Amino acid sequence: MKNKRGYTLIELVVAVGLFALIMTLASGAYFMVINLNRQVQGVTTGINNLSFALETMVRDIRTGTAYSGGGSSISFTPANGGAAITYARGTQQGAGGQTGDIIITKNNVTTALTDPSVDVTSLVFYVYGATPGDSEQPRVTIVVSGSVTHGAGKTESFSVETGATMRGSDI
C-alpha cells in the first residue's frame, strides 16, 4: 500500500473559508481606519484655518492702537496708521447653508478669514485698558466657539480663548 500525501478537499475548503473570514475582518478594519483618517484630516484642516484667523487677529491687535468696541466686534488703528481695521462675526454661504465666520473690514472692504467648514457661532472681544488716561496696559481677550464640519456633514465643536496685549506701552 502506498502512503499518499496531500490535503483532502474538506481541508482545503476549511482553509479557504478561514482565510476568507480573516480577510473580511481585516478589510473592514482597514476601511474603518481610512474613514477615521479622513475625518481627522477634515477636523485638522478646519482647526488650522481657525488658528490662522486667530493668529492674524492677534498680530494686528498687538501692533495696533486706539482700540474701540468690545463685545461682538473690535476696531483699532493698525501699526502703519492707515485706515481702521474692524474684526467681527459675519456669515457666509457654506456647503450646508449659511455658516458663521470671522470677518475683517478695512477700507470698506469686508473679507472672510475663516473657511465655510468652520461655523463660528460666538465671537466675543473683551477690551481692557483702552480708556485714555487709565493706568492699565491695553489688552484684548478673544473668545471663539463654534463647530467644524468634516466628512459627510459630521461636526466637532470647539471653544478657543486667546489674548493680545498692545506691544508699546501707552501708560
Spacing of C-alpha 122 from chain mean position: 14
**Cβ(125)–Cβ(74) below 8 Å:** yes
Split into its structural domains, the chain has a count of: 1
Domain membership of residue 47 as a residue range: 9-165
Residue 1 banded pLDDT, cuts 50, 70, 90: low
Residue 42 backbone dihedrals phi, psi, to 5 degrees:
-65, -45
Asked if the model's pLDDT at residue 51 lies above 60, the reply is yes
For residue 47, tell me if it sits in a domain.
yes
Which grid cell is 67?
482700540
Spacing of C-alpha 45 from chain mean position: 7
For residue 127, tell me if it sits in a domain.
yes
Q: Which residue has the higher pLDDT, 72 or 167?
A: 72
Mean residue pLDDT across the chain: 86
For residue 171, tell me if it sits in a domain.
no
For residue 3, tell me if it sits in a domain.
no
Which amino acid does the sequence have at 148?
Answer: V
For residue 94, tell me if it sits in a domain.
yes
> Order of strands across the sheet with 65-70?
65-70, 73-77, 85-94, 97-106, 109-112
- Summarize the confidence of residues 10-31 as an average pLDDT: 93
- Summarize the confidence of residues 1-17 as an average pLDDT: 84
For residue 54, tell me if it sits in a domain.
yes
pLDDT of residue 171: 47
Reported as type and span, the H/E element at residue 135 is: none
Residues 6+ apart with CB under 8 A from 93: 99, 116
Asked if the model's pLDDT at residue 95 lies above 60, the reply is yes
